Amino acid sequence: MARMVQCVKLGQEAEGLDKPPFKGPLGQRVFENVSKQAWRMWLEHSKMLINEFRLDLMSEHGQRIWMTECEKYFFGEGAALPPDFKPEESK
């Protein structure tokens, strides 16, 4: 049986992650409060952040920014779009 969580992003009970997505207190907090669906939404959002901010996730600086945005996305005011971000226009 799937592990269920009260997802902070979706505002409803949903299937939880199988394991913490990364080590540390934030990883554990995500594991306890974020659904698989919301985590997939974050991964899509984080791709945009990585590209727009040109984050190097191998560097401590890049990881710190990514983790800060992750925390804001789930537990804060929501991850802000980069100031220069312009969504692709539909054809």
Cβ count within 10 A of residue 27: 16
pLDDT digits (tens, 9 = 90+) for 3-58: 999 999 888 899 999 999 999 999 999 999 999 999 999 999 999 999 999 999 99
In 3D, which of 71, 85, 4 has the Cα closest to residue 42? Answer: 71
Spatial contact of 38 and 10, defined as CB atoms under 8 Å apart: yes
Q: What is the pLDDT of residue 80?
A: 44
> What's the CA gap between 63 and 39, in Å, rounded?
17
> What's the CA gap between 54 and 50, in Å, rounded?
5
Cβ count within 10 A of residue 70: 24
Q: What is the pLDDT of residue 11?
A: 86
Q: What is the pLDDT of residue 79?
A: 41
- Looking at domain 4-75, which CATH architecture does it have? Orthogonal Bundle (1.10)
Domain residue ranges in the chain: 4-75
Residue 74 reports pLDDT greater than 70: yes
